[in-house]
Amino acid sequence: MFNQSVEKGLAILAAFGSRNRFMSLGQIAETVGITRSSAQRIVFTLETLGYVAKDPYTRRYELANKVMEIGCNYVAANTLIDSANPFLSAMNSNCDETVSLTEPCGTNMVYVASFTSRKPIVAHMAIGSRMPMYCTSAGRAYLAGLPDNEIHALLRASEFKSLTPLTMTDFDKIFAHIIEGRTRGFSINFEEYMLGHMNVGSPVFNKDGRAIAAVHVMAPSSRWTRDEVIAKLGPMVRECAGAITNAVRTH
């Protein structure tokens, strides 16, 4: 039942991004790992349907804005986002820092909702952006809401990289931090994912008591100390995630 043409078409769309904004047919084939003739047929179909566009001068391809329909349809149909938005907005107003909701996708967390700070921010993560579970507060918070055997499986499947000099890559230490976050009700990350960028996250649970998402708040080190993040933002994000959990369970 598995359709390889659909798989290749989706792989081509996913190959475009900030590093590959424009690609020739040969570059597309090489990036996705398919033959040039296969890429030609699939790209022609995607262009005809309006999902990619070709520059008539450079003859290179780029994503067309029609691809946004798929993502917008997901956001519009996601009842969790509707339930979470009022609480995310309230926390954003209270702390005036960027507050976001992420959902799991493999060993990553995906941004599905975000309320941005009015103050200068270290980095802006667009809806649909991904970040690894093992070194982020949102990822660790989500993992803390799972059984230990599932935590182990997801960590084993992750590729630990030192994204900053502070990134934790030791399996046992990461697992210990996840369990500590479970006990405390929120997980922390002090510049492990991005320098100058601290954050704290807490899991959102469904009716069955299983983690399905995580709320996290970004705290630039230029405005916050570690102690302040734990003492002030930790309880706030835990309360926000708890309110979303209650809304989900009564929806």
Tens digit of each residue's pLDDT (9 = 90 or more) over 162-187: 999 999 999 999 999 999 999 999 99
* Per-residue pLDDT, 122: 62
Say which CATH topology domain 4-66 has. Answer: Arc Repressor Mutant, subunit A (1.10.10)
Which residues make up the CATH 1.10.10.10 domain(s) of the chain? 4-66
Q: Count of residues for the chain?
A: 251
Smallest Cα–Cα separation from 32: which of 49, 54, 10?
Answer: 10
Which residues make up the CATH 3.30.450.40 domain(s) of the chain? 78-250
Q: Which CATH number fits domain 78-250: 3.40.50.450, 3.40.50.10800, 1.10.340.30, 3.30.450.40?
A: 3.30.450.40
Asked whether 8 and 32 are in contact (CB, 8 A), the reply is yes
Count the Cβ atoms, other than its own, within 10 Å of residue 184.
Answer: 16
Give the Cα separation of 203 and 200 in Å (integer).
11
Tens digit of each residue's pLDDT (9 = 90 or more) over 76-132: 788 899 999 999 999 999 999 999 999 999 999 999 999 988 887 666 788 888 999
Bridge partners for 60 per DSSP = none
